[in-house]
Structure 1
Amino acid sequence: MRNTLALFLLLILSQAELQSAEQSKPNIVFLFADDQSTYSVGCYGNSDVQTPHMDRLGRKGVIFDKHYNTTAICMASRANVFTGMYEYKTGCNFGHGDMRADVWSKSYPVLLREAGYLTAFAGKFGIVVQGKGLCQEDFDYWGGSPGQTSYQTAKNKSMEKYAAEYPHSTLSYAAFAKDVIRASVERKKPFCLSISFKAPHKPATPDPRFDEVYAGKQFVKPANFGREFGKHLSLQSKAGRQYPRFTEWKYDTDYDGEMAKYHQQVYGIDVALGMILDELDAQGIADNTVVIYTSDNGYICGSHGYGSKVLPMEESSRVPLMIYDPRSPLNGKQVRCDRLTGNIDFAPTILELAGVPIPNNMNGKSLLSLLKDPHQGGHEQLAFINVFGPLPTHSLSCLTPQYKYTYWWYADDKMKPVEELFDTQNDPLELVNLANQPTSEAILQEMRKRYDQELSKWQREAVDYNDYQRYGTLFERELPSTDNSQ
């Protein structure tokens, strides 16, 4: 009888300890905008915009000033984030193919759910997994939609119940988040909530409830705005849709009107962020919830005379990142981190937060050390990849905390291979191509070596499907290709 009672008490204590351990794990909120540039956020230096909740998140936590998407296009960037790997290892992008199930099996949502986390996703899923589609069954709560999704909440099937109160999708995702937060508290389980907003992706469709925020507003143009500041950029970069969109999207003739719509969409996300933060406070779990805010890529709103994204220039490749971890010693000190980080770092960061081992297939590094010391950690170099769109725009770049080197390999009767080298620390507007400066020969040689290192990784690690192998040859310096066919 005594043995039975002792075993019963031991079982109760074990269950209590397990429940206590589960409750001590931090909740994780990962918020992902679509096409949001750094100059759309007040804490990144733009006094023309209103982003009070993003700014508050930055003040409370850490603002990252050298954060890049290693591929600046929706589908590939989302694959990078889910898996912590470069595109040539995810094998996933428009025009190449869907993600394989074995790749998805090591994504952060799958690994966290296996580890006991309650997982939730809403918004633009952005990828398709072979044999699984949108992977709805891999989440406890689902508000995701296929393709580009819709700004009309009622047209997103999984979000229909929020349409009456929030007809515009941006705030509907905040309503979904509030429901997930409440459910996790009731179930006493740690959660990982991932929200991928459609905003501010084209077609520009702001929530009309915020029409007054920027009505009649005149915006200061960036100092590299217009075609006169793009003459030094490669012909290859002008071969894609980014170049004509400067005029097609009326940045040249209606800059204020276009930017009012763009910033109004971002304002809607800011309101949604505020709703989520308020709910964390209301449920008493803000002190055990890590909030990560970023974007899938930036946006070129007229800089250098281009529009859209994809290209390696700062406006499209570098994005806002603010992280608030309530356990960080840096909180409230308005700290900025200038170490080099990338979107491949999110999966390992989220896994480390949850106490889940980081698979050795991941290219990224956890960012948690930077929340203790913003000057120790990050990457010495990163690759930036574009293999989307017209072949001339396909390229590989190498980034360091100070420099960006791109080798534009494509050649035909109108263009020849060229190099671009920018000092993004002292020339953030990328106005001077140092590859053409004799005084920069030493750093050019150094960046060529670093580029070759990134290409070597591609050659060793690229998947053998979805047309990723050939770029290991196409992107080689000093070995111009004679086959420019698609």
Structure 2
Amino acid sequence: MKCLLLLFAVLISSVIHTRAADRPNIIFLLSDDQTIGAVGCYGNKDVITPHLDKLANDGMRFANHYDTTAICMASRCTLLTGLYEYRHGCNFEHGDLERRFFANSYAVKLREAGYFTGFAGKIGFLLQGEKLEAFEKEFDVWAGGPGQTFYETAKNDGIAKYAAQYPHCSRAYGAWAQDFLKTAKTSGKPFCMSISFKAPHMPYTPDPIDLKLYESKKEFTRPANYGVENGKHLSAQVHTSRAATSYREWVNDYDGTARLYYALITGVDAAVGMIREELERQGLAGNTVIIFTSDNGYNSGSHGFGDKVIPYEEGSKAPLLIYDPRLPKAHAVKVCEAVTASVDMAATIFALSDVPAPAGIDGKNLLPLLTNPAGQVREFLPLFNFWGIPTAQSLAVVTREWKYIYWYSASDGMKPTDELFHLGNDRLEMANVANDPHYAKDLAVMQKAYDTELAEIASKVVTGHGYEAYPKLFDRSLPWDQKAPLITPAMGAGEGGAANRKRKETPQ
């Protein structure tokens, strides 16, 4: 009997070991403020991104990927937890992340399931009532930093030892990743490595190595909807946002700003190359899935807007590249048109790792799309801006063909505004057809989807973080006099124009 029990224990151990060995390694790479068009493989001929282009060529490029909240703090919590902002409750003005939500993040759950985990770069938020140091014990290797972190490597404690060889942080994170991969290999466990680059976030201070690549280029291609004249047809509300009133470098000096922005992205690209080279050296490339995306897009002068936050395409869409080397080469060089989102990252990582996702998360597993790029994982996707000046807050729903945006504010003589864009024919959002009778049925469909999403918010909104008023504020049927009293002084406390710019850049 004892022999049988021993044999059974050996078999079980063997099965568990085999299953662990079969689980892929996962690398999650996040840039900061990189719009979807700022990568060569998305058609941009000005930016230099050979390693990201190769990653897309080896795997899949997603053409309609959105950050459901296009601002870093909330977006990063959404990426980790797979929850929409109104459910995890973390954003500027709304408060820090509750530990109960972080406990269900992919980073924590994968480590509990036997993954060797590491994090480097900008974490972008804090746990409620705790200091930054609380994160260190949640990872096997920690090199995260406070606030926005720094472009100067020496100022970031987690990567300062690389400063002599790599004084700019982007390549330093690449060097940190190379060391992490060596350590992870010796652990004997599958690993999950997450890096959140500072680049290309402001202030635009690229590595001189990368800036030199652009020094001979005098003019950069402007977006087809570039300039304030291409934003006059948009809502009065959006023109009160900081995207319209601040961040004017993209309008006043597009060529100079684009040069710095693209050079920063080239630095991130170089780090991606360093990581892939080390995977090959360590014999890990064949079983390591790589995901690359950004925490939000960037308007870069489109419609005359700078910054992100607002729900138009350039500010809310980011690149998404996924490479799974275990798939047959027939699935490489594919483009997926499905609507995907930041909220899907955690669900996808859980599926890759074979770790059960927490019940009730909002994200969708994108793995089926890797072998069926013509498929879809959802019909509608909500986009939120529950932050900043109240007049510019919005709620939207988007599909492959349509986007509907509702601006609730009627202060300062404005009227609540519907916007409807036929993205299938008008990706640049140059024609608001909400009042065109020809599109009345399409408007009704999108408004119904909007109302469905609003009902979800009302039934699932987290309490204690200042979101309770939003189901009424965004109710299309309620008159303004019932909404106005719901707006509190705390709303928009972090918003403002150029006078608040210096203060705001530290947290955002």
Q: TM-score, normalised by structure 2?
A: 0.92
Counterpart of 2:500?
none
1:331–1:192 distance in 2 versus 1, CA, 3 Å: farther
Counterpart of 1:161?
161
- 1:66-465 counterparts in 2 under 5 A? 66-134=64-132, 135-217=135-217, 218-245=219-246, 247=248, 249=249, 251-329=250-328, 333-465=332-464
**C-alpha RMSD of the superposition:** 1.6
User: How far does the alpha carbon of each residue in 1:349-406 deviate from its partner, in whole angstroms, 9 at most, with x for none?
Assistant: 0011110111122001100000111122321111100011101111110111211101
Question: What one-letter code is carried by the residue in structure 2 that aligns with 1:181?
Answer: L
Query: Is the contact between residue 199 and residue 264 of structure 2 (CA under 8 Å) also seen in structure 1?
Result: yes
SS in 2 for 1:336: strand
CA distance in 2, matches of 1:314, 1:216: 30
Identity of aligned residues (%): 47
CA distance in 1, matches of 2:228, 2:247: 9
SS in 2 for 1:413: helix
CA distance in 2, matches of 1:62, 1:12: 40
User: Once the 2 structures are TM-superposed, how far is the Cα of residue 327 of structure 1 from its aligned partner?
Assistant: 2.1
User: How far does the alpha carbon of each residue in 1:77-103 deviate from its partner, in whole angstroms, 9 at most, with x for none?
Assistant: 001001101000011000110111111
SS in 2 for 1:143: strand
Q: Which runs of 5+ in 1 are unaligned?
A: none
Query: Is the contact between residue 474 and residue 480 of structure 1 (CA under 8 Å) also seen in structure 2?
Result: no
CA distance in 1, matches of 2:15, 2:165: 41
Question: What one-letter code is carried by the residue in structure 2 that aligns with 1:142?
Answer: W
CA distance in 2, matches of 1:266, 1:413: 40
SS in 2 for 1:369: helix
Query: Is the contact between residue 60 and residue 331 of structure 1 (CA under 8 Å) also seen in structure 2?
Result: no
Query: Is the contact between residue 331 and residue 371 of structure 2 (CA under 8 Å) also seen in structure 1?
Result: no
CA distance in 2, matches of 1:6, 1:467: 60
User: Once the 2 structures are TM-superposed, how far is the Cα of residue 451 of structure 1 from its aligned partner?
Assistant: 0.4
Query: Is the contact between residue 229 and residue 304 of structure 1 (CA under 8 Å) also seen in structure 2?
Result: yes
CA distance in 1, matches of 2:146, 2:424: 39
1:221–1:11 distance in 2 versus 1, CA, 3 Å: same
Query: Is the contact between residue 59 and residue 332 of structure 1 (CA under 8 Å) also seen in structure 2?
Result: no
User: How far does the alpha carbon of each residue in 1:40-61 deviate from its partner, in whole angstroms, 9 at most, with x for none?
Assistant: 1011111122111111011110
Query: Is the contact between residue 95 and residue 128 of structure 2 (CA under 8 Å) also seen in structure 1?
Result: no
Question: What one-letter code is carried by the residue in structure 1 that aligns with 2:82?
Answer: G
Query: Is the contact between residue 310 and residue 386 of structure 1 (CA under 8 Å) also seen in structure 2?
Result: yes
CA distance in 2, matches of 1:245, 1:214: 26
More divergent stretch after superposition (416-425 vs 328-337): 328-337
Question: What one-letter code is carried by the residue in structure 1 that aligns with 2:303?
Answer: H
User: Once the 2 structures are TM-superposed, how far is the Cα of residue 252 of structure 1 from its aligned partner?
Assistant: 2.8
User: Once the 2 structures are TM-superposed, how far is the Cα of residue 165 of structure 1 from its aligned partner?
Assistant: 1.5
Q: TM-score, normalised by structure 1?
A: 0.96
Query: Is the contact between residue 329 and residue 371 of structure 1 (CA under 8 Å) also seen in structure 2?
Result: no
User: Once the 2 structures are TM-superposed, how far is the Cα of residue 152 of structure 1 from its aligned partner?
Assistant: 1.1
Question: What one-letter code is carried by the residue in structure 1 that aligns with 2:65?
Answer: H
Query: Is the contact between residue 68 and residue 384 of structure 2 (CA under 8 Å) also seen in structure 1?
Result: yes
Counterpart of 2:49?
51
User: Once the 2 structures are TM-superposed, how far is the Cα of residue 8 of structure 1 from its aligned partner?
Assistant: 5.9
User: How far does the alpha carbon of each residue in 1:421-479 deviate from its partner, in whole angstroms, 9 at most, with x for none?
Assistant: 11122211100001122211110111110100110000000011110110010000021
Query: Is the contact between residue 405 and residue 420 of structure 1 (CA under 8 Å) also seen in structure 2?
Result: yes
CA distance in 2, matches of 1:397, 1:368: 26
More divergent stretch after superposition (306-315 vs 331-340): 331-340
Query: Is the contact between residue 211 and residue 259 of structure 2 (CA under 8 Å) also seen in structure 1?
Result: no
Query: Is the contact between residue 86 and residue 467 of structure 2 (CA under 8 Å) also seen in structure 1?
Result: yes
User: Once the 2 structures are TM-superposed, how far is the Cα of residue 123 of structure 1 from its aligned partner?
Assistant: 0.4
Question: What one-letter code is carried by the residue in structure 2 that aligns with 1:141?
Answer: V
User: How far does the alpha carbon of each residue in 1:301-337 deviate from its partner, in whole angstroms, 9 at most, with x for none?
Assistant: 1110110000001001011001001122465641100
More divergent stretch after superposition (93-102 vs 158-167): 158-167
Question: What one-letter code is carried by the residue in structure 1 that aligns with 2:240?
Answer: A
CA distance in 1, matches of 2:42, 2:424: 15
Query: Is the contact between residue 61 and residue 331 of structure 1 (CA under 8 Å) also seen in structure 2?
Result: no
User: How far does the alpha carbon of each residue in 1:146-167 deviate from its partner, in whole angstroms, 9 at most, with x for none?
Assistant: 1111111111112221222211
Question: What one-letter code is carried by the residue in structure 2 that aligns with 1:468?
Answer: Y
CA distance in 1, matches of 2:328, 2:457: 38
CA distance in 2, matches of 1:477, 1:28: 43
CA distance in 1, matches of 2:332, 2:266: 25
1:53–1:466 distance in 2 versus 1, CA, 3 Å: same
Question: What one-letter code is carried by the residue in structure 2 that aligns with 1:433?
Answer: N
SS in 2 for 1:307: coil
Question: What one-letter code is carried by the residue in structure 1 that aligns with 2:79?
Answer: V
User: Once the 2 structures are TM-superposed, how far is the Cα of residue 17 of structure 1 from its aligned partner?
Assistant: 4.0
User: How far does the alpha carbon of each residue in 1:103-132 deviate from its partner, in whole angstroms, 9 at most, with x for none?
Assistant: 111111111011000010000001111244
CA distance in 1, matches of 2:281, 2:189: 17
CA distance in 1, matches of 2:131, 2:480: 37
Query: Is the contact between residue 34 and residue 318 of structure 2 (CA under 8 Å) also seen in structure 1?
Result: yes
CA distance in 1, matches of 2:330, 2:232: 43
Query: Is the contact between residue 366 and residue 377 of structure 2 (CA under 8 Å) also seen in structure 1?
Result: yes
Query: Is the contact between residue 420 and residue 435 of structure 1 (CA under 8 Å) also seen in structure 2?
Result: yes
Q: Which runs of 5+ in 2 are unaligned?
A: 489-508
User: How far does the alpha carbon of each residue in 1:169-216 deviate from its partner, in whole angstroms, 9 at most, with x for none?
Assistant: 111111111111111111211000000000000011101122211113
User: How far does the alpha carbon of each residue in 1:274-299 deviate from its partner, in whole angstroms, 9 at most, with x for none?
Assistant: 00011111111111000000000000
User: How far does the alpha carbon of each residue in 1:60-86 deviate from its partner, in whole angstroms, 9 at most, with x for none?
Assistant: 101000110000000000010011010
CA distance in 1, matches of 2:32, 2:355: 28
More divergent stretch after superposition (417-426 vs 299-308): 417-426
